[in-house]
Amino acid sequence: MTFLVVLHLAVMAYVGAIGVYLLLLRERVRIAPALIVMGTRLSGLLAAAVLVFWIGLTYVM
């Protein structure tokens, strides 16, 4: 069950990061800052997914 939650969060993080990237490109922001924002958002959301997975493993077992 925890694996499915983490997988769901990881997919949401990827979709959210791509959405932010496309939004920034539509607003005519240069590609380099848009990539930095996308990478920061993706890494933050993936770190949150790993934290949820760790908490799930710690308290379930």
The answer to whether 18 and 38 are in contact (CB under 8 A) is yes
What are 11-35's pLDDT values in tens digits?
887 787 778 777 777 777 777 777 7
What are 33-55's pLDDT values in tens digits?
777 777 887 788 788 878 877 88
The answer to whether 45 and 16 are in contact (CB under 8 A) is yes
Taking CA 55 as the corner, what is the angle to CA 6 and CA 51, rounded to the nearest 5 degrees? 55
Helices (H) and strands (E) in the chain — how many of each?
Answer: 2, 0
Please give the model's pTM, rounded to 2 decimal places: 0.55
Alpha carbons 33 and 29: distance in angstroms, whole number: 7
